Amino acid sequence: MENTDQKQDVFVAIADSKRRKIIHLLASTKELPLHELTSHFQMGRTAVSKHLAILKEADLVTNRKIGRETRYRLNAAPLKEVKDWLSFYEKFWNEKALLLKNILEE
């Protein structure tokens, strides 16, 4: 049986292009309400809310209520895990490119 209280994996959360677009939109502003986020997609508020829930489970998004409106904000800290993982491969490919350059220069 799967534990629904577990934190969502950040890699799973960013795997979907719509969720990456939500992250980008939130990174470009301080915070946005659901209706403004929804206006950037060809899907309804319920679908956007489901994507926001996945991002929230991964701690990538926080929200706060102002009256009847819920505003969403990016929490970029979990993206450091992605950056750290990618930096290993960046180093790997830089070393391979340097090796290839040296071979071609010989």
Structural domain including 73 reads 10-77
Number of structural domains the chain divides into = 1
Query: 21 lies in a domain?
Result: yes
At 10-31, the pLDDT tens digits run 999 999 999 999 999 999 999 9
Dihedral, CA of residue 75, residue 76, residue 81 and residue 82, to nearest 10: 130
Does the pTM surpass 0.85? The reply is no
The DSSP call for residue 81 is H
For the chain, list the strands marked E by DSSP.
Answer: 32-33, 61-66, 69-74
Do 26 and 73 form a contact (C-beta atoms < 8 A)?
A: yes
Query: 56 lies in a domain?
Result: yes
At 33-89, the pLDDT tens digits run 999 999 999 999 999 999 999 999 999 999 999 999 999 999 999 999 999 999 888
